[in-house]
């Protein structure tokens, strides 16, 4: 195909799905506020196959399975990073996390780069939605800075209830042996299992918005199923809740099933208030799973750019705009959710900041696939990856791999020697993309001990992966 023909084909495709999205949006807006409510639900460390609708063999998730049946289930959705902080930075900015020096801190913590991951005054997703008339709320995990200046209220949220750090105990609500639960900038106490408490707060925000007839834009960031390994009836497990010496498949299943149940309570409240048809609901995960999660038919886990570390479940329900019961193979990234939500909110493109993602409404409404290349970099083990079509380029330290995902989803057969031109092309594309990212300046990378992930990688002086510890001076 000539370059002119390829350009015309891409223009035609984009025109078709953009027109389809515009038609669907305009039609659905008839007789109601053109601004839908926006409910973005983020699980923490959920594996690709931890939902029944994605093939789980032992975890029951009827609510999320029904959500997928009522919307679009994406099979080729990816997190922008294999750990949480960079992914959350990508979500709130719509930019590849490696565009920020703080996006290379895996996970984010205070250091020479500062105490907040988001630059002051940055045009964030919640800030833009608030300007457009939405009541913006973050319920749950933040993990982009633990100071007031770096917290949610400083970056566009009207309301915050949750925790600022990377984890929290489900029952004591402590992190690093200190109280961690907050409302706004104040420490608060609640009794009960945190997944339930977060759902309770989400329901209160929905009720408040309904009473005031103001559309809401809520990011509901559950800590489940992130460790400590504690289900809703496991308050007496003690050390079973710890990362290294606790947990089991049964406990993990209870954590995921509790999350599913609480999502059901929230969706039921939307129904009761007559808001379900006026609400865009998105469910996904911040990265792949770890010790007890399922990722079949992939391998790898949190902390690695193999498919199991970055391929995530993603479900989008938007009544009257997106078809129900559909499955899409559209490649997508975390950075796509910001333009998707901005478009759904009716914010003109002229008011959008520069973004790295694309809105998914058009392709999903028109059942079109937009060809694109996806790129990642990760400091831990000096990893890099690119995917274009069926081909996946992966580099770990000095070793390069090429996988044909169409026939080898497990990423076992290295085709680098058999397809040198494909390897070279993807490696060059990655280098071109990386030219727009910040430079690697010896920021310590994320480190999983080999015993935790079952991958025989040594942590030595030649690796950028460091043992957890205080930030460098």
Predicted pLDDT of residue 4: 30
Predicted pLDDT of residue 244: 75
Predicted pLDDT of residue 30: 42
Question: Residue 231 burial by CB count (10 A; 0-12/13-18/19+): exposed, middle or buried?
Answer: buried
Predicted pLDDT of residue 108: 86
Predicted pLDDT of residue 164: 96
**Angle at the Cα of 262 (from 259 to 268), degrees rounded to 5?**
140
Predicted pLDDT of residue 444: 58
Cβ neighbours, 10 Å, residue 177: 8
Predicted pLDDT of residue 33: 57
Cβ neighbours, 10 Å, residue 419: 15
Q: State whether CATH 3.40.50.170 applies to domain 35-366.
A: no
Q: Which of 58, 84, 243, 381 is catalytic?
A: 84
Question: Residue 455 burial by CB count (10 A; 0-12/13-18/19+): exposed, middle or buried?
Answer: middle
In the chain, domain spans: 35-366, 374-440
Q: Tell me if residue 84 is catalytic.
A: yes
| Helix (H/G/I), strand (E/B), else coil: 77 | strand
* Residue of 121, 134, 142 whose CA lies nearest to 185: 142
Is-same-fold flag (35-366; 374-440)?
no
Whether residue 334 has a cis bond before it, omega within 30° of 0: no
Q: Which of 143, 155, 159, 226 is catalytic?
A: 143
124 touches 385 (CB < 8 A): no
Predicted pLDDT of residue 262: 98
> How many whole angstroms separate alpha carbon 357 and alpha carbon 94?
6
Give the torsion through C-alpha atoms of 263, 222, 200, 276, to 10 deg.
-40
Predicted pLDDT of residue 28: 47
Residues of the chain scoring pLDDT < 70: 1-33, 239-241, 441-473
Q: Tell me if residue 143 is catalytic.
A: yes
Q: State whether CATH 3.30.1120.10 applies to domain 374-440.
A: yes
pLDDT digits (tens, 9 = 90+) for 226-252: 999 999 999 887 766 677 778 899 999
β-strand partners of 396: 383, 399
DSSP characters over 240-307: GGSTTT---HHHHHHHHHHHHHHHHHHHHHHHHTT-GGGEEEEEEESS---TT---TT----TTSSSH
Predicted pLDDT of residue 447: 53
> Which residues, 6 or more positions from 349, have their beta carbon under 8 angstroms from its beta carbon?
none
- Dig out the tokens for 446 from the structure: 């994320």
Predicted pLDDT of residue 26: 52
> Which residues, 6 or more positions from 247, have their beta carbon under 8 angstroms from its beta carbon?
227, 229, 240, 241, 291, 292
Predicted pLDDT of residue 22: 53
């Amino acid at each position: 195909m000539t370059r002119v023909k390829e350009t015309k084909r891409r223009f035609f495709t984009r025109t078709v799905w953009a027109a389809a999205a515009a038609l669907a949006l305009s039609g659905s807006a008839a007789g109601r506020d053109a601004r839908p409510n926006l409910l973005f639900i983020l699980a923490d460390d959920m594996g690709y196959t931890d939902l029944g609708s994605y093939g789980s063999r032992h975890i029951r998730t009827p609510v999320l399975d029904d959500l997928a049946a009522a919307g679009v289930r994406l099979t080729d959705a990816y997190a922008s990073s294999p750990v949480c902080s960079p992914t959350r930075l990508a979500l709130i900015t719509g930019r590849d996390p490696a565009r920020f020096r703080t996006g290379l801190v895996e996970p984010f913590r205070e250091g020479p780069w500062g105490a907040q991951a988001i630059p002051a005054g940055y045009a964030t997703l919640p800030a833009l939605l608030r300007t457009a008339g939405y009541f913006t709320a973050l319920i749950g995990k933040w993990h982009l800075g633990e100071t007031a200046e770096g917290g949610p209220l400083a970056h566009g949220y009207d309301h915050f209830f949750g925790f600022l750090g990377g984890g929290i105990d489900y029952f004591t609500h402590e992190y690093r042996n200190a109280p961690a639960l907050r409302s706004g900038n104040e420490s608060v106490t609640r009794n009960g299992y945190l997944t339930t408490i977060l759902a309770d707060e989400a329901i209160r925000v929905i009720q408040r918005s309904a009473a005031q007839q103001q559309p809401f834009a809520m990011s509901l960031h559950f800590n489940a199923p992130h460790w400590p390994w504690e289900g809703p009836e496991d308050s007496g497990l003690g050390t079973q809740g710890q990362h290294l010496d606790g947990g089991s498949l049964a406990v993990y299943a209870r954590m995921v099933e509790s999350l599913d149940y609480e999502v059901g309570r929230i969706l039921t409240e939307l129904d009761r208030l007559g808001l379900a048809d006026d609400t865009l609901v998105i469910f996904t995960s911040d990265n792949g799973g770890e010790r007890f999660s399922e990722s079949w038919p992939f391998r790898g886990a949190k902390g690695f750019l193999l498919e199991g570390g970055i391929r995530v479940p993603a479900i989008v329900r938007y009544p009257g705009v997106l078809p129900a019961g559909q499955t899409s193979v559209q490649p997508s990234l975390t950075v796509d959710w910001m333009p998707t939500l901005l478009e759904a909110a009716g914010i003109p493109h002229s008011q959008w900041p520069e973004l790295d993602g694309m809105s998914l409404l058009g392709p999903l409404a028109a059942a079109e696939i937009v060809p694109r290349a996806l790129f990642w970099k990760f400091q831990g083990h000096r990893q890099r990856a690119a995917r274009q079509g069926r081909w996946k380029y992966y580099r770990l330290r000095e070793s390069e791999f090429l996988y044909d995902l169409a026939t080898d989803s497990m990423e076992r057969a290295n085709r680098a020697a058999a397809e040198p031109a494909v390897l070279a092309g993807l490696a060059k594309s990655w280098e071109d993309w990386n030219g727009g990212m910040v430079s690697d300046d010896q920021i310590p990378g994320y480190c999983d001990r080999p015993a935790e992930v079952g991958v025989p990688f040594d942590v030595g002086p030649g690796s950028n992966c460091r043992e957890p510890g205080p930030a460098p001076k």
